[in-house]
Structure 1
Amino acid sequence: QIGSVQSLGGTGALRIGAEFLRRWYNGNNNTATPVYISTPSWENHNSVFVDAGFKDIRTYHYWDAAKRGLDLQGLLDDMEKAPEFSIFILHACAHNPTGTDPTPDQWKQIAAVMKRRFLFPFFDSAYQGFASGSLDKDAWAVRYFVSEGFELFCAQSFSKNFGLYNERVGNLTVVGKDADNVQRVLSQMEKIVRTTWSNPPSQGARIVATTLTSPQLFAEWYDNVKTMADRVLLMRSELRSRLESLGTPGTWNHITEQIGMFSFTGLNPKQVEYMIKEKHIYLMASGRINMCGLTTKNLDYVAKSIHEAVTKIQ
């Protein structure tokens, strides 16, 4: 039921999957199949599917700015309204850029609607282990969909959890109804690979394979991943604590409720501009900040700067 193709990082996995779906899913060369991407999402999702030839890129509700959390009802409503056989790009864990993931119960609701509406799940798993510190917890959504009998794709990146950005190590997992079906899909994917990068580099992939198949190396790597994830979780907790101690207007529980490398702070564009120009703290205009940039040495400065931005700039 399961097969895979090595790719050039997570982006390469997305592109091979997109190329295959455009050529063979929902009819031959069907560029009109709707592809749904969350609002907001990683900007490259849109570009990859447009470049693969899809003509109907749509968005689905995800982030509720008012409550600074998941807009589950909006998401489910969009899935209910989507044409059957539409493709939905789902973040497996540590949603980029919001850091807000559905709970297991919410994932079950999402899966139920997708199954009933015959929607195709294409997972992007870029941060496994980096979200919660648990490989199993971060893979829960994908595994649940598989257990529910879905055929799906899952693009996997080893750039972050192995620190192999420059080696471009990725994997596209194909889950089908039976071995015959999977083999037919893989044979077409191999043709697509042959005309894109032809043959992926081996060094990074061998590092990953050696680590994952050696009990000793796997244990050491897993411990390292958990250490990094725990550090980010600690920085979240400390930042929230400092903002609350300063009496910064608003609520800041969303910082610890979000997960992964990024956080939607809730700062508006003018407050972000103040942070950049006056405090030299760099974040996206959307208010997204990289939590990995926080350290025990700069936490106080960042917290006080956010406090100033919120109190001075409306």
Structure 2
Amino acid sequence: MRKQLETIIPGGTRRIFHFASDVLTHNPTGTDPTPEQWAKIADVIQEKNHIPFFDVAYQGFASGSLDEDATSVRLFAERGMEFFVAQSYSKNLGLYAERIGAINVVCSSADAATRVRSQLKRICSAYVLESTGSWGEDCGKCRLVFHSEANWHVLIRWPNKAQQSDNMTNKWHVYITKDGRISLAGLSTAKCEYLADAIINSYHSALLYWETPIEL
């Protein structure tokens, strides 16, 4: 990677990194630079005037500390370099359906920051003004308000994942998304059997509902 930064990639190029501190939380594969290696990477990027873009999707999962996992990014900030940091809170906060995240840009001057802020506002407006999870709930409420008589039962002929998810949450206090996704990073060995019981119970809780004939 260092050789590519030095000789192959043109100067002034944006470069994407998955980051952490001693252990890199990359997905699905990657390398694990040490703090010393990060310093050498920063040397090359600074010399070649590259603009790094850090993809921060798993902060806290590498060392268990949010602060320690920011070591590599903080190194670039301390050197006064310009870079982007895209943060997602889907994994470390379990907010999969709420589109929660942030884009942070470290600029070389107040004037540059003002111009970048202006452009980011234009780009992100389409994203921050809607939430996919809330959108689904709102559609259900609108149907009740307008007393829709349309028959949508054909859309629920497949297994009712939402009913299973509700059972997992309300009865077993296992918090997953409506479509059944779960963060295994938060699962300890001691809780594996409990989770298995919750999944089995939730599966059977919706089984009778699935087998009920649907009127079209």
Same-fold call, TM cutoff 0.5: yes
1:150 Cα offset (Å): 0.8
1:89 maps to amino acid? I
Q: Counterparts of 2:18 and 2:56 in 1: how far apart (Å)?
A: 6
> Which residue does 1:21 correspond to in 2?
none
Identity, % of aligned positions: 47
> Which residue does 2:80 correspond to in 1?
149
1:181 Cα offset (Å): 1.1
1:178 Cα offset (Å): 1.7
2:120 counterpart of 1:189: yes
The one of 97, 106, 129 equivalent to 1:199 is 129
Q: Counterparts of 2:86 and 2:59 in 1: how far apart (Å)?
A: 11
> Which residue does 2:10 correspond to in 1?
83
Q: Highest Rg: 1 or 2?
A: 2
Residues 179/121 of structure 1: CA separation in 2 closer, same or farther (3 Å cut): same
1:101 Cα offset (Å): 2.4
Q: Counterparts of 2:5 and 2:15 in 1: how far apart (Å)?
A: 9
Aligned positions, number: 138
Trace 1:199-278 onto structure 2 (pairs within 5 A): 199-201=129-131
Instruction: Give the secondary structure class of the aligned counterpart of 2:76.
Output: helix
* 1:31-52 residue CA offsets vs partner (Å, 9 max, x unmatched): xxxxxxxxxxxxxxxxxxxxxx
* 1:89-115 residue CA offsets vs partner (Å, 9 max, x unmatched): 011221112364211101001000111
TM-score by length of 1: 0.40
1:197 Cα offset (Å): 2.9
2:110 counterpart of 1:179: yes
Residues 291/133 of structure 1: CA separation in 2 closer, same or farther (3 Å cut): closer
> Which residue does 1:124 correspond to in 2?
55
Instruction: Give the secondary structure class of the aligned counterpart of 2:127.
Output: coil
Trace 1:38-117 onto structure 2 (pairs within 5 A): 75-81=1-7, 82-93=9-20, 94-98=25-29, 100-117=31-48
Q: Counterparts of 1:121 and 1:141 in 2: how far apart (Å)?
A: 12
2:4 maps to amino acid? D
Whose relative contact order is higher, 1 or 2, with alpha carbons under 8 Å and at least 6 apart? 1
1:200 Cα offset (Å): 4.8
Instruction: Give the secondary structure class of the aligned counterpart of 1:166.
Output: coil
2:76 maps to amino acid? F
Unaligned runs of 5+ in 1: 1-74, 205-289, 299-314
Q: Counterparts of 1:176 and 1:198 in 2: how far apart (Å)?
A: 23
1:295 Cα offset (Å): 3.7
Instruction: Give the secondary structure class of the aligned counterpart of 1:155.
Output: strand
Unaligned runs of 5+ in 2: 135-183, 194-216
The range that moved more, 92-101 or 103-112, is: 92-101
Q: Counterparts of 2:29 and 2:188 in 1: how far apart (Å)?
A: 17
Residues 200/178 of structure 1: CA separation in 2 closer, same or farther (3 Å cut): farther
Instruction: Give the secondary structure class of the aligned counterpart of 1:124.
Output: strand
Runs of 4+ with >6 A deviation: 290-294
Q: Counterparts of 1:101 and 1:125 in 2: how far apart (Å)?
A: 15
